[in-house]
Structure 1
């Protein structure tokens, strides 16, 4: 039975939560104030005029709806491919025997410590030679490929405690590797797969470096948010609106799937939930 937390812990956590909320409140207030009010600082309320002018200007001046669609398309495809390929790769590395298995696993896991900046120039040269600059594949391939390092490690770590008796029983019943994976391993591995999907979606949704370098016309929301900043004025009100729009979807995704994310982070058993 879980006891009640001490009052000082509740007060301390409440103070930390309030500190975290202050920047969010500042962004919301900045998006609703005129430029002259924003220049004084969003915390000054001597002249507190609310207006939706920044929201109208952002939607009229910048292609937010198009960028929203591009972001949803790239993040959705990259997340779906990662959720499909990662458990299959982790299953192969953990349960199957094939030549150079350990060497391949070490190479993939070591890619986890490889910064994105290291592969930028080789990727740019490769995509230029293949004619993939300003093509969605130029970001989808790195999104999926660079996610294998941590995603395979996460799912394989879950398989460490997976009951091998279930796999052996499937072999006795005549199931091959693919049937065993499909009917035994995959249904009992949904928690880490959901955790991988949430992390991948949040990463690809907020990615800035790769799409900024490889995409030109149809750009995702983070790139558009970077472009909203003016050359001679910072446009804090417009940037606040774009920041709110950019963060709404990942926030909703995390709130909806937070139970699956927590289960995937904590589950270390192969028992089906």
Structure 2
């Protein structure tokens, strides 16, 4: 007779989950209550007043709507570019033979240890000479280029378990490298591609440093969130509203596409059903 599963893992996970969402509850409560109440502690309910004045003030004082559109465009373009280029690069490094293949792969992977701050000044000088300051390309190119360090590594690791016999069979049948990649490898490695896209989207949506330095007119939400942070006054309610607007889309995207992380086991056979 099979015994019942212990309840303590569920209880422990529930406790940790509740602790995890406490800051989220605090941000929401701060955004819908007067600052005079939340400054003494958002968890206090001895006096509770529901108001949306902070939401109205933020939308009137800061360009959240244009910033939302800018963030969506930048994140979408960077994500699509990475999802298109990364699997092709990983396929070339794993299955094709060309000069300096290993050396080039090591150089790309070693970009893991390169701090983003190192390339700020050289990129700023380059973009200024090319006239790309305050241009979306000034952040899109680094977004996609810097993502190669981890995205190629991720997809290539997935291809380590890809059956080489399927690739060799396609070559025997007369398929070229592009046909093998497009019809054989890519359809059976979509889980790793989607995982790369999700990570890239989350990173670019929340990126602050590069847009803060290279964009002037149309700035994304993280830059607006940094501007909302008051210097001489307490505006926790406004910051909470901006934080909610900034984080709601990445949360929804992750919840919708999180199954793609676990889909790898279904596509490692080298053939689609």
TM > 0.5 between the two? yes
d(CA) in 1 for partners of 2:229 and 2:156?
43
Q: Once the two structures are superposed, what CA deviation does each residue of 1:59-91 show, in whole Å capped at 9, x if it has no partner?
A: 111111100000000000000000000000000
Are positions 1:271 and 2:240 aligned together?
Answer: no
Say if 1:161 and 1:268, in contact at 8 Å, map to a contact too. Answer: no
Give me the whole-angstrom Cα distance separating, in 2, the residues matched to 1:141 and 1:98: 25
Unaligned runs of 5+ in 1: none
Q: Deviations over 1:23-42 (max 9, x none)?
A: 00000000001121122221
Aligned twin of 1:88 = 88
What is the aligned partner in structure 1 of residue 190 from structure 2? 190
| C-alpha spacing 1:225/1:118, structure 2 compared with 1 (3 Å) | same
Deviation at 1:231, TM superposition (A): 2.4
Q: Return the alpha-carbon distance in structure 1 between the equivalents of residues 11 and 255 of structure 2.
A: 24
In structure 2, C-alpha distance between the alignment counterparts of 1:3 and 1:267, rounded to whole Å: 31
What's 2:72 paired with?
72
1:31 matched residue in structure 2: 31
Residue correspondence of structure 1 range 1-273 to structure 2 within 5 A: 5-264=5-264, 269-272=268-271
Aligned pair in 2 of structure 1 residues 272, 53: CA closer, same or farther (>3 Å)? farther
The answer to whether the 8 A contact 2:189-2:267 is kept is no
Contact 1:158–1:268, Cα closer than 8 Å, also in 2: no
Distance 1:232 1:82 in 2: 41
CA contact (8 A) 1:229 1:235 kept: yes
Residue by residue over 1:120-154, the C-alpha shift from the partner in whole angstroms, topping out at 9 and shown as x without a partner, is: 11111111121111111111000000000100000
Aligned residues: 271
Residues 171 and 271 of structure 1, relative CA distance in 2, 3 Å threshold:
closer
Range that drifts further, 33-42 or 193-202:
33-42
Supply the distance in 2 between the matched residues of 1:114 and 1:267 (Cα, whole angstroms).
35
Structural RMSD (CA): 1.6
Q: For the Cα contact (< 8 Å) 1:189–1:270, is it kept in 2?
A: no
* CA distance, structure 2, for counterparts of residue 76 and residue 209 of structure 1: 18
Question: Matches of 1:167 and 1:196 in 2, distance apart?
Answer: 23
Where structure 2 has 5 or more consecutive residues not aligned to the other structure, the ranges are none
Partner SS, residue 186 of structure 2: helix
- For the Cα contact (< 8 Å) 1:74–1:136, is it kept in 2? yes
